[in-house]
Amino acid sequence: MITKTILVTGGAGFIGSHLVEHLVRTYPHYNIINLDALTYAGNLANVSAVAEADNYSFLEVDITDLDAVRKIFAIYPIDTVIHLAAESHVDRSIEDPLIFVRTNVVGTTTLLQAAHEAWKGSFGGKLFYHVSTDEVYGSLGETGAFTEDTPYDPRSPYSASKAGSDHFVRAWYHTYGMPVVISNCSNNYGPRQYPEKLIPVIIHNAVLDRPIPVYGKGINVRDWLYVGDHVAAIDLILHRGRVGETYNVGGNNEWRNIDLVRRICGTVDEQLGRKLGTSEALIAFVPDRAGHDLRYAIDAEKIRTELGWTPQTDLTQGLEETVAWYLKEFSAA
């Protein structure tokens, strides 16, 4: 018997596909509806492992299309939304900011509006879970970490659009009483990330003997979390998170970009059985990204103490799995 109907948006993308696969397999009594517009970043091959499952369905819909989203709420007894659909690449947001406003701000408010209309003020058993980023908090100096109380200070059109979406989710909570929860997570890595992002770019170029671009001097620091650990956090927040709360999710795993790039180069060389240092020799420093935040770090104390979440995948293991997955993909292409 189906006990929950969850609308996952962006389920054909990187994190969304791992989440969909996890929910479909772990909870056969939940109906999982994957809504995705299949932009350049969405790919149904990402969810092929569960495509035939009885408790899974896919809808190709744009979240900014209010009529289409309304229809979905009219047809399906959706009680939970987990919202991941977004434009997600900072460099693209610098080139073309308006699509980020459209998808991330207008799309999120469209979903909120459709859910609100469908749930008609009777919010019992309902939840709107918004998945967001630590980039909304801005940039840190050499010390400190973002907590849930850190003031928002987004710097790129991407982070500004995600910050806007977070504010609208909170507005629906305070204004209409919609049960919402938000998580803000650090950089994810793992299989199925679109090959424009840092880690797949490094692997791809290393394999093809092409220059490996590193912004500025490579000293920007990011916290890295394996995608499976993020999915585990989302599962916990979905089931045990407190309504109206925000949870920061992070790997406690900070790396300067240049050091991370070198580690990945080493893993690629090892897995290809070639001389250590071959890939590293391809590193090419390129002019820094405009407004490049120096450092992000997450204080994940709240989710750790309240929900008992800690990351389970160390960087070596996570990178080995990620590199192995991409090498297989590239050799199949």
Binding site for ligand NAD (CB under 6 A): 9-10, 12-16, 36-39, 41-42, 62-64, 84-88, 103, 107, 131-133, 162, 185, 187-188, 194
Phi, psi values for residue 279, rounded to 5°:
-75, -40
Beta carbon of residue 149, minimum distance to ligand NAD (angstroms, whole number): 19
Say which residues have a Cβ less than 8 Å from residue 108's Cβ, sequence separation at least 6.
Answer: 63, 83, 130, 165, 168, 169
- Residue 7 or 269 with smaller CB distance to ligand NAD: 7
CB of 212 to ligand NAD, least distance (A): 19
Which residues form the catalytic set? 134-135, 158
Shortest Cβ 306–ligand NAD spacing (Å): 20
- Report which residue type is found at 238: L
129 pairs with which residues across the strands? 82, 181
Looking from the CA of 133 toward its CB, the CA atoms found within 13 Å total 31
Task: Name the residue nearer to ligand NAD (CB basis): 154 or 269.
Answer: 154
Of the pair 80, 269, the CB lying nearest ligand NAD is at 80
In the bound state with ligand NAD, the residue whose beta carbon lies nearer, of 191 and 266, is 191
The distance of closest approach from Cβ of residue 273 to ligand NAD in the complex, given in angstroms and rounded to an integer, is 30
**How far apart are the C-alpha atoms of 107 and 101, rounded to whole Å?**
8
Closest separation in Å from C-beta 302 to ligand NAD: 16
Residue with tokens 């407004």: 291
In sequence order, what are the residues at sequence separation of 6 or more whose Cβ sits closer than 8 angstroms to the Cβ of residue 170? 180, 182
Residue 86 or 297 with smaller CB distance to ligand NAD? 86
> CA 208 to CA 325: how far, in whole Å?
16
Cα separation, 91 vs 102, in Å, equals 17
Q: Where are the alpha helices (DSSP H) in 76-186?
A: 90-95, 97-100, 107-119, 157-176
Radius of gyration of the chain (CA): 20
- Per the listing, tokens 């009594």 go with 29
